[in-house]
Amino acid sequence: MAVEVAGTHEQDETVDVLLRRGRRSDSVDMDITPMIDIVFLLLIFFLVASIPDMQVEADLPPARHGTGINPRSAVVFTLAERGGQQAAKVYLSDGKSGQPLPADIAGQEAAIERALRGEAGVALPDDPAEQAAIIRRAVSAGFHREGLATVLVKAEKGVLHRDVARITQAVAAAETEGIQLNLGVYEIR
């Protein structure tokens, strides 16, 4: 025997609604606020941590105040621009003049002494390690033998900052207590 269940369309809809209400589907809404915070923190970190190597030229105004340094009472290094990204040419003299430094140590010492007295300039070799060693020796000799307690680093307008920083670090490495370091722009008039 077959039993026939007959129902109206309204009853079927009511049963469907009740069944749907009974089956609660838990909605999985994810809160992305912490993820956004982390993304912004990472963005700020990378913006601050990445320092671009900028080769920006800055025109500095002439000094209105301050006193000049007498080159005769200072150890003077002149940095000459070579153009492009090449390292500056370094002279132990007040100006861009000087003979290349001799290869032997005794000749080097004599040339450094003449340069410190202002008799003849010396062109330092292009090797940065050799330059640093010669600069340390010249500053030490100027301080201890000649009584020069001031170092003047003069750089042409186009010399890169890294070259000036390299020279000043070599001066600081001379380990002479009480040396006064002065920086200047070398201008041809």
Per-domain residue ranges of the chain: 71-186
pLDDT at 121: 82
64 class by beta-carbon count within 10 Å (0-12 exposed, 13-18 middle, 19+ buried): exposed
Local confidence band at 28 (pLDDT 50, 70, 90 cut-offs): confident
Instruction: Place 34 in a pLDDT band, splitting at 50, 70 and 90.
Output: very high
Residue 184 pairs with which residues in a beta bridge?
Answer: 154
Contacts of 91 (CB under 8 A, 6+ apart): 77, 78, 79, 80, 97, 98, 121, 122, 123, 124
Beta bridge partners of 123: 91, 100
Nearest to 139 by CA among 125, 122, 152, 156: 152
More confident residue, 16 or 79: 79
